[in-house]
Amino acid sequence: MAATMLNTETPAQQHTLLDQYPTVELVNVLVDDQLNAVNAVRAAAPRLAAAVAAALPRVEAGGRLIYVGAGTSGRLGVLDSVELYPTFSWPHGRAVALLAGGTDAMFVAVEGAEDDLEQGAADLRSLNITKDDVVLLIAASGGTPYVLGALRAARAAGALTIGFANNPDAPVAGEAEIGITLDTGPEVISGSTRLKAGTSQKIALNTFSSALMVRLNKVHGNLMVDLKATNAKLVLRAIRLTSFATGVDEAAARAVLEQCDFHVKTAIVALSKQTGVEQARALLEAAHGSVRQALAS
């Protein structure tokens, strides 16, 4: 009996003459199909919320976020992991990405790497997984052997496993403690999951990690107050955020930020409470990093 074709691999019926479309129509079709990625993530929102709720106590206890994937899915995991440090001051060592084929696969396809179930398990075990770790397993097909190997090793270690797949009833979602199905259906260019399947994964990962960081008190109101000012652009952003949150001018904001290594949270509390940066740090520590609670104390 022939294997059932995955939704993500099934040729789309409505664009069989895609290569003959005028360029403007071609571009419009490709863009419009991305709306299906948004709809797929929206449908999975309850599962994403459950994943955030389950991950929160683990990371509060010191656990790491560990991303596992191959090809486009793996690269999207790498992207999410590296962006957490400048955006939320999340430590590099607590956002780890495993990519089938190793770091070289970020830039060049490593043939066959995704098919190695045992390597996925070995790479995961090499991280000395604990029960507080949260492992995000990403596979458009939902059956990538490398990812499944890592998933099974993570479950054996007692870590929280969250599986992202783009096909219904996929093993990666079914075997994970929390499965998230992003049912994007056939691609306009048949089988090219770098298109809307990849877009849905990017949205889902952004949503998960951003929501988790909000729950970890790294956002005040809707302001990114725990950024790491690693370049000139982010230094200016820190000044503007502090000024906006406190009502002081940018010169006053910069003066206090320079005393606290441009940590926006500390500057907001110091300026709002009219106290020194050390007292502001103490108030934030007592409030578990919540600017709102520190200001109310």
- The two tokens of residue 15 are 């664009």
Burial of 134 (0-12, 13-18, 19+ CB in 10 A): buried
H helix or E strand, kind and range, residue 86: helix 71-88
How far is residue 61's CA from residue 80's CA, in Å, rounded to a whole number? 21
How far is residue 176's CA from residue 174's CA, in Å, rounded to a whole number? 6
Residue whose structure tokens are 């005040």: 220
Active site residues: 83, 114
The conformational region for residue 262 under phi > 0 = left, psi -120 to 50 = alpha, else beta, is: left
Q: Which residues of 184-198 are buried (b: 16+ CB within 10 A; e: fewer)?
A: bbbbbbebebbbbbb
With 0.85 as the threshold, say if the pTM is over it.
yes
Q: What are phi and psi of 137, to 5 degrees?
A: -110, 120
Domains, the chain: 7-215 (3.40.50.10490), 232-296 (1.10.8.1080)
Tens of each residue's pLDDT in the chain, 297 residues: 345 778 887 888 889 999 999 999 999 999 999 999 999 999 999 999 999 999 999 999 999 999 999 999 999 999 999 999 999 999 999 999 999 999 888 988 787 889 899 999 999 999 999 999 999 999 999 999 999 999 999 999 999 999 999 999 999 999 999 999 999 999 999 988 999 999 999 999 999 999 999 999 999 999 999 999 999 999 999 999 999 999 999 999 999 999 999 999 999 999 999 999 999 999 999 999 999 999 998
Contact of 100 with 118, CB cutoff 8 Å = no
Nearest to 139 by CA among 105, 115, 123, 110: 115
Q: What are phi and psi of 163, to 5 degrees?
A: -105, 130
Q: What's 175-217 look like in SS3?
A: HCCEEEECCCCCCCCCCCCCCHHHHHHHHHHHHHHHHHHHHCC
Angle of helix 250-257 relative to helix 232-246, nearest 10 degrees, comes to 110
* Coarse DSSP helix, strand, coil percentages of the chain, rounded to the nearest 5 percent: 55, 10, 35
- How crowded is residue 257: how many other Cβ atoms within 10 Å of its Cβ? 26
> C-alpha 155: how far from its chain's center?
20
